[in-house]
Amino acid sequence: MIYEIDSLRVTPMKIFSFIIALTLAWTVVSLAVATILLIGGLVLFGIRMQFGTLLIFYVTLVTATICFTLISFVVANISKNEGQASIYSNIFAMPMLFLSSAFYSLDTAPTWIKTLSRLNPFSHFVSGLHSTIVFDLRGAAANLIILLAFGVLALIAAILTFRWDSD
């Protein structure tokens, strides 16, 4: 582990390039997994998707994957060890899941929960996928812009919190 950190420290790679390279690598892996799941779902359930819908679906998926990978960089950067990283990821992930409409509708939720939901990137991912499925281009575009904004904020936070050493 120490050897890997020392090797990273002496590379001429900039922090921005390192973060982007790893983010894109994880995005490719996520897209491969999503494609396998999508093909399985389409075949098993006999669902038909138009090319435009599929294209918007993948754009939304790529944007969200990049955003959440960058958020995971921030979580990893503020953690001192693996145990803390696990705790912090749960602290970030659970509210994002429960403050979205992924599992249940928030239509009858209190106003403060709806407000928190609007500040939640996962809500915009779920809403973007929903807009894609019903082919609502305006809704999908609005959610993409919001996910991009969250991604830019997460990239800035990842760069600012990044450190080469494990201390």
Q: Which two tokens stand for residue 113?
A: 């929960």
Report the amino acid identity of residue 69: T
Contact 146, 126 (CB under 8 A): no
Report the amino acid identity of residue 126: V
Q: Is the pLDDT of residue 165 over 70?
A: no
Percentage above 90 pLDDT, the chain:
40
SS3 state of residue 48: coil
Q: What is the CA angle 140-121-18, rounded to 5? A: 105
How far is the C-alpha of 129 from the C-alpha of 56, rounded, in Å?
9
What is the rounded average pLDDT of the residues 82-105?
A: 87
Contact 96, 120 (CB under 8 A): yes
Per-domain boundaries in the chain: 14-161
Cβ contacts of 48 within 8 Å, gap of 6 or more: 42
DSSP state, residue 49: -
Q: pLDDT tens digits, residue range 31-73?
A: 999 999 989 988 999 888 888 888 999 999 999 999 999 999 8
How far is the C-alpha of 12 from the C-alpha of 64, rounded, in Å?
29
Q: Is the pLDDT of residue 122 over 90?
A: yes
